[in-house]
Copies of this chain bind each other. A is one copy, B any other.
Amino acid sequence: MTKARIALDVMGGDHAPQSTLDGAKLALESWPDLVLLLVGDEGRLKAQLPGHGLVGALAERFELVHAPSVVTMEDKATSVLKERKDSSMRVAAQLVREGRAHGVVSMGHTGAAMVASSMVIGRLDGVDRPGLASVMPNRQGRPTVLIDVGSNVDCRAEHIAQFAVMGAVYAEQVLGVAHPKVGVLSVGEEEGKGTEVTREASALLRTLPLNFAGNAEGRDIWNGHFDVIACDGFVGNVVLKSSEALAGAVVAGIKESLAGSLATKFGALMVKPGLKAFFQKFDYREYGGLPLLGIKGVSVIGHGSSDAKAVKNGIGAAVRTYEGKVSERIQAGIAGLLPKE
């Protein structure tokens, strides 16, 4: 296996290029075999490299690739196919298509990154819709993969079944879960509960060599009873955004509560280390980004607000996805869902 070569959209993200350049340095230090292609405005970036420590020996493990424009939050997702063809995001995806990189990492416009990855890098044979996977930290201290959270709406049964296969490969190869337990998200445990689409998806999944356990419920996203939960991208997106907001509200509420009386403030100082360790579990920066699965290469899409640590971890997720041969294994797994000759 050749060393992982990852294309980083240096211009994508609210704090780019500071956060992405700092994240690139951390990643190069963390993975000694990693090679990075830093995609952005070459003239502008070149002058900034020394200020971010991207010099000396590290400089031998990255190269700058020029892209004159940037996808902004005001651009449409499809802009990467038209007016933003010369953007850092599109050029980074192009490097994967051309075989110059194994994967792309972007903290920019999520929809545009999904379009660039799906359309430029291309879907695997037999995959109708690439799925965006989210790794949720469950109550048992392990990860649960929820897929699709990328707003693939009006999914058919075969789409959900494909998401389940992709999620299972990711859980096994990247998260190290042996025989991941897979479920289809529904409104009750019993086999008959759900929509026509979820029931059909379950019927398809029962025919595959997976550890498929039937319906999962909303609570199963957090209780650790499933390793992989597949769903329509509408419900996945709503659950992801709702969960981020709820966790944020709880953390903010606790901080407010602890800012009360003097005794409470004093107590708060003492409990801070314990709480910090806990909140870290719910910190998206630990995961670095969401893998888009079902494409002919690796793509990790991060939060716009990503800092250097999140960028580093996003690059790490891309490295592990490449090294785990996730695309190849999804291609093999998905074959069981294709119509039999």
Contact = CB atoms under 8 A, between A and B. Distances in A.
Interface of A: 138-139, 151, 153-154, 185-188, 193-196, 217-223, 231, 233-235, 237-250, 252-254, 256-258, 260-261, 263-264, 266-271, 273-275, 277-278, 281-282
Contacts of A196: 154
A270 B268 CA distance: 8
7 contacts: A153-B187, A186-B234, A187-B233, A194-B234, A219-B245, A223-B245, A257-B275
Contact of A219 (B187, B244, B250, B281): B244
A272 to B, nearest CB: 8
Given A218-B241, A221-B246, A258-B271, 6 more contacts: A194-B234, A222-B245, A239-B242, A258-B274, A260-B273, A268-B270
Nearest to A276: B257
Given A242-B222, A258-B274, A188 B264 contact: no
Contacts of A154: 195-196
Contacts of A281: 253
A270 B275 contact: no
A233 B252 CA distance: 29
A215 to B, nearest CB: 11
Contact of A153 (B194, B257, B268): B194
Given A261-B274, A271-B271, A281-B253, A218 B234 contact: no
Contact of A139 (B185, B249, B254): B249
A239 B257 contact: no
Contact of A238 (B187, B223, B271, B274): B187
Nearest to A277: B257
In this complex, the member of A185, A246, A253, A268 whose beta carbon has the largest number of chain B beta carbons within 10 angstroms is A246
B195 A282 contact: no
Contact of A264 (B187, B258, B271): B271
Nearest to A237: B187
Contacts of A234: 186-187, 194-195, 235
Contact of A252 (B139, B253, B274): B139
Nearest to A243: B246
Contacts of A247: 246, 250
Contacts of A261: 273-274
A270 B257 CA distance: 11
Nearest to A220: B245
B254 A264 contact: no
Contacts of A241: 217-219
A229 to B, nearest CB: 10
